[in-house]
Amino acid sequence: LPNKAFFKKDFFHAVKDVNFSIPQKSTIGLVGESGSGKSTLGKALAGLINYQGSVLYDGVNIDQLNSKESKSIKKDIQIVFQDPYGSLSPRMTVGEIVGEGLDVHFELTKKQKNERIADCLKAVEINPDDRFKYPHEFSGGQRQRVAIARSLILNPSFMILDEPTSALDRSIQIQVIELLKNIQTEYELTYLFISHDLKLVRSMSDYIFVMQNGLIVESGPAKQVFSNPEEDYTDKLLNAALRYSTV
């Protein structure tokens, strides 16, 4: 995934030689130091940046799809970003934000659309009566729930969670993590959980991928990676993050 530096002619590869698969209905924890390529990889999978190589989704190469097929895949792959306030338009009500994608991907009556919006707000524990409010009227944790509802309303199978709790207080982080777990079970979702917080990753993930300098240097079942890491980099990363407390 070549990125061009501002005012420079040279390129560097933020992510390179990455090859992996994600089992359905599982959670992959993607960890690594800042700048290791975690978020770049997530954005590539979501189709938000250009890349060299291929992404196979349910056995289909998404780079070779026509516009109609690509639209369907984009509905099925959703991403939740780190900053819940920055990712929500301040000029739109919460109901408009959550329901925006419905007009693109579905043909619904106004009543059906409002019902879907209400159901998704309930799913993330937001009162549907608050759908006429604006993002600034909600707390950070509530705004992130709105962002989750916006993705959930399209009935995705795969959600990329890019540092979804890092901007939140610890107590709110735990609440959002529990919400994500409950939603995953209810909607049979597959997660790519990107985070630098290894305590949260350990509590959330079935498998772990460790990134360093754009490469996946270690991967395996979460219990195995946390209890018996094979790479020195992974060992140092875990020791630095988990030295003082456990989840």
Domain holding 41: CATH number? 3.40.50.300
pLDDT tens figures, 125-175 = 999 999 999 999 999 999 999 999 999 999 999 999 999 999 899 999 999
- In a domain, residue 112? The reply is yes
Does residue 12 register a pLDDT over 60?
Answer: no
Does residue 6 register a pLDDT over 60?
Answer: no
Long-range contact pairs involving 110-118 (C-beta distance under 8 Å, separation at least 24): 116/153, 117/153
Q: How far is Cα 181 from Cα 177, in angstroms, rounded to an integer?
A: 6
Total domains in the fold of the chain: 1
HSE, CB side, 13 Å, CA atoms: give it for residue 239. 8
Among candidate residues 84, 246, 79, 80, the one with its CA nearest the CA of residue 168: 84
- In a domain, residue 2? The reply is no
Does residue 62 register a pLDDT over 90?
Answer: no
- In a domain, residue 30? The reply is yes
- In a domain, residue 62? The reply is no
